[in-house]
């Protein structure tokens, strides 16, 4: 079974600075997808960024980028120029590419605080 581990229950960053959230996963599959989702207090999960395992290039979305290390099974999220609106719970998630059930397997989350 696939597992996702986020080793940082909480992180804090000063506004305008950079922070990196860690995620590791375990799978026997060679092809899969990885995601970072953000959950503000409103509870709605919002997709931040997506990475396809067969692509070596790291995904980027504006101030958000990932460091995908397939051999190490590591998928960290870097937030540059942090803003107060980035404060939220961040979840790393995995889903398979083949097979029939594309459920998301989530880590336990990292609570990010942004200090003004």
Partner 1 sequence: GAGVSQSPSNKVTEKGKDVELRCDPISGHTALYWYRQSLGQGLEFLIYFQGNSAPDKSGLPSDRFSAERTGGSVSTLTIQRTQQEDSAVYLCASSPIHRGNQPQHFGDGTRLSIL
Select from 21, 2, 97, 101 the least CA-distant residue to 52: 97
Q: Is 101 in the site for partner 1 (CB under 8 A)?
A: yes
Considering only residues 10 to 49 of the shown chain, the ones binding partner 1 according to CB under 8 A are 32-33, 35, 37, 42-47
| Closest CB to partner 1 among residues 75, 91 | 91
Q: Six-digit token pair at 83?
A: 């803003």
Q: Is 52 in the site for partner 1 (CB under 8 A)?
A: yes
Find the part of the chain contacting partner 1 (CB under 8 A) among 14-22, 55-63, 72-80, 96-104.
96-104
Select from 7, 18, 12 the least CA-distant residue to 74: 7
Q: Is 3 in the site for partner 1 (CB under 8 A)?
A: no
Report whether 92 contacts 107 (CB < 8 A): yes
Q: Give the shortest CB-12-to-partner 1 separation in angstroms.
A: 21
Sign of the dihedral defined by the CA atoms of residues 65, 89, 84, 19, in that order: negative
Q: Give the shortest CB-115-to-partner 1 separation in angstroms.
A: 25
Kindly report the number of other CB atoms within 10 A of residue 13's CB atom: 18
Footprint on this chain of partner 1 (rule: CB under 8 A) = 32-33, 35, 37, 42-47, 50, 52, 91, 95-98, 100-109
């Amino acid at each position: 079974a696939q597992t996702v581990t986020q080793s940082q229950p909480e992180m804090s960053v000063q506004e305008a600075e950079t922070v990196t959230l860690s995620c590791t996963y375990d799978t026997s599959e060679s092809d899969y997808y990885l995601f970072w989702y953000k959950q503000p207090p409103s509870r709605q999960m919002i997709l931040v960024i997506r990475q396809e395992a067969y692509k070596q290039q790291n995904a980027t979305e504006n101030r958000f980028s990932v460091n995908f290390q397939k051999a190490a099974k590591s998928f960290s999220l870097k937030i540059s120029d942090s803003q107060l609106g980035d404060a939220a719970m961040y979840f790393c998630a995995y889903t398979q590419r083949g097979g029939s059930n594309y459920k998301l397997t989530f880590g336990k989350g990292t609570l990010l605080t942004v200090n003004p």
